[in-house]
Amino acid sequence: MKFYSEGVQAGFPSPADDFKEEKLSLDKRYLSNPDATYLIRVAGNSMVPTLEINDILVVRSDFELKDKCVVIVSVNNTEFTVKRYNEDNKELIADNPDFPNIKIGEDDTLICLGIVKNLIRDL
């Protein structure tokens, strides 16, 4: 795939002759560990404006759960959901204020399928 590393101006354009063509491997960039990487489509709007319906998430299952990460999780064997993890308050945060956050109690079972590392969005 062709990749123009010099970027494109979002202000005044520069002549196209200034662009240097290089190769960019999307597999190498986003699928560096294919056995621990999967793609999943967003189906709800609890994470708007961060994530939108039909965004495709690049999720890594080999990364450790950390504070403020966007994660794919299940609490007490419920359906998996995508939320932002808040370690200090022990809750899963919905970025959309119209949705409630999910408190994680001491007796709750949290299953994390992975950490969202990138997203693919059609314009």
Check which CATH number belongs to the domain holding 106 and give it: 2.10.109.10
Active site residue 25: no
Domain that holds residue 52: 32-120
One of 14, 20, 23, 83 is an active-site residue; which one? 83
Active site residue 90: no
**Span 75-94, pLDDT tens digits:** 999 999 999 999 999 999 99
For the chain, the domain total comes to: 1
CA distance between the termini of the chain: 20
Query: Which pTM does this prediction carry?
Result: 0.78
One of 2, 46, 68, 103 is an active-site residue; which one? 46
Looking at residue 28, what is its pLDDT? 78
**Span 49-71, pLDDT tens digits:** 999 999 999 999 999 899 999 99
Q: How many residues does the chain have?
A: 123
